[in-house]
């Protein structure tokens, strides 16, 4: 067996000559592993006297610590060399121009909903969300929609079972609010609605905003004032606005509102009317004391008219080229 001092010198030479971390690991195992040379020295101490065991065990442990320290120092040096080589290979030319980060824009639907909500907030309206899965009572019955109305058919409506469906209009929230709140009420309900249709002017899911006012002495003049001011704010004051009689089961009288384009053609933008007395009775509000008006519009439709978009499906195709066209003030 080599003397301990000679063994230490050999180990140090091996560590010094190692060029790779893998070689250093092999040296560690060779001398310090379970079957390593220094370990065998320790095992051989059983053949020595007590005094010799004490003397040599101290020496071996001292050498072992020195070897571990030398290996760690060499490992750090090799790691730094590897890092330096990698940095040289991955050199970054700081004279190159930086990569531009392209800023996105709000989707026109999101922007428009926010704009409409902000407009009505100035008029004292509160904005509330409402459930998209609805029952037949809130979506149809309480809104005075008869049992034989075509909107209840499966070809027009997504039914989940005999009672639940994906709501076909945001008017469902009118009933929930009227049952819960006491007049005066002034609320708008933005949200998604679902109808079984799909072409250039219809999609199975689209967005609506519904508005509701309940108070004493509310009449059609109040409704017209709100509609005129909203449409002038949204489309500009140069437009012409036309109210024409219509029919909705939950409003009477009812009207549809058109704007007249530059070609003189009327374009429908929303529906409105005085809330039907039966609707107020259904939620326990006395129609002899209180009256109410309501209005609703399709968000995609008014965006299409404002920006002259011909195909409704463009909103949902995730084409970044389409979204980049919109510049908001």
Query: Mind listing the pLDDT tens digit for each residue in 241-257?
Result: 999 999 888 889 999 99
In a domain, 30, yes or no: yes
Which of the listed residues 89, 117, 148 is the one where a domain comes to its end? Answer: 89
Q: Taking the CB of residue 93, how many other CB atoms lie within 10 A of it?
A: 5
Residue 208 backbone zone (phi > 0: left; psi -120 to 50: alpha; other: beta): beta
| Whether residues 33 and 127 fall in one domain | no
3-state helix, strand, coil in the chain (%, to 5): 45, 20, 35
For the chain, how far is it from start to end, CA to CA, in angstroms?
A: 88
Residue 103, pLDDT score: 73
Residue 238, pLDDT score: 84
The whole-angstrom separation of Cα 24 and Cα 217 is 92
- pLDDT (tens digit per residue) in 116-163: 999 999 999 999 888 889 888 888 887 778 787 777 777 778 888 888
Query: Is this structure's pTM higher than 0.75?
Result: no
| Whether residues 136 and 200 fall in one domain | yes
Chain centroid to CA 58: 66
| Whether residues 246 and 138 fall in one domain | yes
Task: Flag residues of the chain having pLDDT under 70.
Answer: 1-2, 199-201, 262, 329
Strands (E), 82-182: 126-127, 133-135, 164-166
CATH of the domain at 191: 3.30.930.10
Residue 1, pLDDT score: 47
| Whether residues 30 and 115 fall in one domain | no
Domain that includes residue 230, residue range: 108-323
Domain count, the chain: 2
Residue 124, pLDDT score: 92
- Which letter does DSSP use for residue 17 in this model? H
Q: How many CA atoms are closer than 13 Å to the CA of 279, on its beta-carbon side?
A: 31
Cis before 184 (ω within 30): yes
| Whether residues 134 and 260 fall in one domain | yes
Residue 172 backbone zone (phi > 0: left; psi -120 to 50: alpha; other: beta): alpha
| Whether residues 12 and 79 fall in one domain | yes
3 state SS of 135: strand
- Report yes or no: 177 and 259 within 8 Å, Cβ to Cβ: no
């Amino acid at each position: 067996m080599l003397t301990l001092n000679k063994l230490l010198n050999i180990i140090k030479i091996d560590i010094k000559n190692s060029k790779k971390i893998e070689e250093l690991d092999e040296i560690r195992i060779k001398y310090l592993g379970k079957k390593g040379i220094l370990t065998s020295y320790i095992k051989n101490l059983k053949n020595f006297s007590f005094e010799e065991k004490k003397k040599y065990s101290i020496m071996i442990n001292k050498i072992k610590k020195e070897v571990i320290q030398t290996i760690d120092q060499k490992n750090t040096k090799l790691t730094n060399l590897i890092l330096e080589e990698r940095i040289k290979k991955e050199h970054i030319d700081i004279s190159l121009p930086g990569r531009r980060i392209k800023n996105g824009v709000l989707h026109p639907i999101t922007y428009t909903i926010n704009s409409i909500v902000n407009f009505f907030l100035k008029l004292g309206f509160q904005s509330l969300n409402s459930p998209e899965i609805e029952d037949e009572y809130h979506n149809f019955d309480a809104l005075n929609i008869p049992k034989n109305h075509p909107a209840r058919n499966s070809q027009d409506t997504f039914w989940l079972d005999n009672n639940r469906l994906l709501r076909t209009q945001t008017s469902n929230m009118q009933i929930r609010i009227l049952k819960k709140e006491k007049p005066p009420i002034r609320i708008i309900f933005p949200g998604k609605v679902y109808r079984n249709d799909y072409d250039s002017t219809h999609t199975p899911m689209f967005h609506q905003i519904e508005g509701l006012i309940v108070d004493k002495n509310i009449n059609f003049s109040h409704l017209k004032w709100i509609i005129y001011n909203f449409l002038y704010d949204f489309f500009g004051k140069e437009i012409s606005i036309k109210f024409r009689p219509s029919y909705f089961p939950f409003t009477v009288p009812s009207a549809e509102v058109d704007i007249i384009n530059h070609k003189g053609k009327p374009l429908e933008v929303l529906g409105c009317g005085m809330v039907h007395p039966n609707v107020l009775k259904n939620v326990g509000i006395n129609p002899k004391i209180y009256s109410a008006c309501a209005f609703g519009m399709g968000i995609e439709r008014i965006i299409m008219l404002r920006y002259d978009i011909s195909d409704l499906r463009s909103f949902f195709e995730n084409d970044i080229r389409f979204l980049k066209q919109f510049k908001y003030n």
